[in-house]
Structures are given as C-alpha cells and as structure tokens.
A = this chain, B = another copy of it.
Amino acid sequence: MNSAAAFADFRRYPRVCALTAASPFADRIQVTWADGRLSPFHHQWLRDNCPCPQCVYTVTREQVLEIVDVPEDLAPGAIRLDAEGCLCVDWQDGHRSRFDPGWLRAHAYDDESRAERLAGKAKRQLWKHDLQLPVFDYLTLMEDADALLQWLLAVRDIGLTQVRGVPTEPGSLKQLAQRISFIRESNFGVLFNVQSKADADSNAYTAFNLPLHSDLPTRELQPGLQFLHCLVNDADGGESIFVDGFAIAEALRQEDPEAFTALCEIPVEFRNKDRHSDYRCLAPIIALDALGQVAEIRMANFLRGPFDTSVEQMPRLYRAYRRFIALTREPSFRLMQRLEPGQLWCFDNRRTLHARNAFDPATGARHFQGCYVDRDELLSRILVLQR
C-alpha cells in the first residue's frame, strides 16, 4: 500500500506536475519534472522517507524506521517511474520504496522548490493607528467554520481583532476560546478577572493606567493569543490602546539599527512575584526568526527587573529601550478604543502590545475577563479548517 492514500496523513499532495525522468548519481537520484525543474534527492533522504507500512505505521502515520537502521552508504539497485507516475526505488538490501509525485514535489529541496514554499507562506500585515479593525460576530463564529477561519487568519496575520455580540455572563469567553482549542492556564488561572482589587498581585488588577506591554513576559513562552472580554464597563476611563509591536520594531530598525540590534541582543529580566510564586525570565525584548524577521516582542516595563549588562553596554541598552518606549507613545502607532459590554479583544500577545488608560472605580464597576490560547493551537486550528 504505497499509493497516495497511504501517506495522505490528513494532508493532500496534489499532483501539480508529473515526473518525466529519474537519473542515478553517486549519492542521490535526480528527478526531472514535466515543467523542466530538476530535483535531487539523496539516497539517505529517500530511504528515510519511505512511506511503506514497514517504515510508517499506517494507523498513526508515524515513522517506525530510524535512519540508523540502514547503512549510511545504502544505494538503489534499480530506479524507475511506474505506470502511475510514481518514483520506484529497489534498494540494494531488498527493501522497495515508492514515492508519489505529488508528495515528492511538495517536499523537494532543490533551491527553486524551497523558494516556492517560502514564498507561499502567510504574510503578516503591519499596521498603525488607522488600521481598519477586523470585527467579527460571536454567533457567526460559533456556528460557521468559514467565518471562524477568517477570524483566525486575521488574528495570525494582523494580530488584532474584535468580536461583538458576546454574552456577558462571566465565563462565556471560554466557549469562544474553545472554538480554537484548549485554554492555556497560567498562575493567574484559566480565566482571569481584570478588576481593581485591594490586594492586587499585579498592576493589572489596580485602576492605574498600564503602559503598552505583552502579558507574562515573565514566562519562557509568552502566551500566544490573549482574549479580553468586557462584562461590565461603567467606570470612566479605562480605554484600550494597542500598537503593532512588529511595526514599531521595524520602524526602530529603519531609524536606528544600532538600537534595534541592542534590543535583539541584550537579554532583560522580567519578574513577577507574590506570596506563592516567583517567576523570572531573561530574554531580549525583540526576538528574530531564522530569516531575521521580527518574531516576538517581550515588553512590560512594570514587570522588568533592573538591567543587568556590562558597564559598557548599559548606556546603549538605555538609549535603545527609551527609544522603543518613545515609539510606543507616538500617536501614529496607537489605536485606542473603549470596549463595551459584550465585546472582546482577541490579539497576538507576542506582537500586539496592549495598554489601558487609568479608570475611576468611584464612577462605576468595570469587569473584564481574560484568557490565553497558544500560537500552536491557532496554527493547528487554521490547518485543520483549511483541509
């Protein structure tokens, strides 16, 4: 059972192009595609990816073979394209592998194929104060898988969305979050209540203004998505403010590359402590991915520990940090809106910094509930909805 179905593994690999030839080389097979592309595949790679039921357990679609189970110099005895257009390899040790051209094309690692895959990846959209806020309707999201997908794509690519028409019963946020997947618990609970408290263990639980920040920079992995759901909002003030941290980081990179580099390189400690916990995380404020793109912002001035870097680096770090915060205060980056009962924010906590103006608890009650869902769940859910 080497047919396409056996290794479909819930993903489809359409046969976008046919194989026309396969040529043997010392350590690889090079195939030629109908569109002229040449893709080399090393013997080790082909043997490692043999989809036969001896090598991959068909129930779980997980590999049973480990590549060290075959010799490093294993080579094919014979290769051919069969009547269905698959690449067939008879190995010198007697094992036989058969590769579907759709799967092979999707995993080819010649430069052209890799560049094509990279170009096909989702593109983030940077934004400023004039973002056309993506707004979604609660009931539609709960019932319609396509609307759900559109919402999740906006969360992934824009990093800030609003949902309206949400019930205002405490706990009702849970149902919406679980449309994605399970909720990520923290030391503040599964759902947390954002209310002014006398014995606050975080400035979030006061009536103070909160400067632009990410939640839980004190943890090795900051929560991916944050939900903030308004149940009651009768108090004066307390408007929500958002900035696109990626846009600010890119602006800093343009205007002051040296400051940008300092925030990428010098780790900063974030701390959160109360009677029962003592969290500390040491990490740079800006994290880059393998391609040098800004992948994450870690920032909460009120949770930051004293800077601990060399005497020589300290002025450099302060200059960069001041400039970053100054940018978050620039009106051109800031989107401000007061959240009304039955509305919620859902945003990328590792990208979109959020703030709150001070509110006056004497003028009325204010009760928000929040929770987190990780990026892993968001991306998994998107892939399942796209199947």
Contact = CB atoms under 8 A, between A and B. Distances in A.
Interface stretch (A88-96, A109-117, A132-140): A109-117
Q: How large is the interface on A (under 10, 10 to 19, 20 to 34, 35 or more residues)?
A: 35 or more
A374 interface: yes
Contacts of A186: 182
Contact of A219 (B278, B303, B307, B376): B376
Nearest to A42: B314
A252 to B, nearest CB: 14
A274 interface: yes
A204 B320 CA distance: 48
Given A42-B315, A185-B182, A310-B111, A72 B303 contact: no
Given A62-B202, A67-B321, A200-B59, A278 B311 contact: no
Stoichiometry, as copies per complex, reads 2
A202 B63 CA distance: 10
Given A181-B187, A311-B109, A375 B306 contact: no
Closest 5 CB pairs of A and B: A278-B383, A221-B221, A62-B302, A44-B318, A62-B203
25 contacts: A11-B278, A44-B314, A48-B307, A48-B318, A57-B203, A57-B206, A59-B198, A59-B206, A60-B203, A60-B205, A61-B273, A62-B302, A63-B302, A67-B318, A67-B322, A67-B325, A68-B325, A72-B322, A109-B310, A110-B311, A182-B187, A220-B221, A220-B374, A221-B221, A277-B380
Interface of A: 9-11, 27, 40, 42, 44-45, 48-49, 57, 59-64, 66-68, 72, 107, 109-111, 114, 117, 181-187, 198-203, 205-206, 208, 211, 218-221, 267, 273-282, 290, 301-304, 306-311, 314-315, 318-319, 321-322, 325-326, 329, 374-377, 379-381, 383-384, 387
Given A59-B206, A61-B273, 6 more contacts: A62-B202, A64-B203, A68-B326, A72-B322, A109-B308, A281-B376
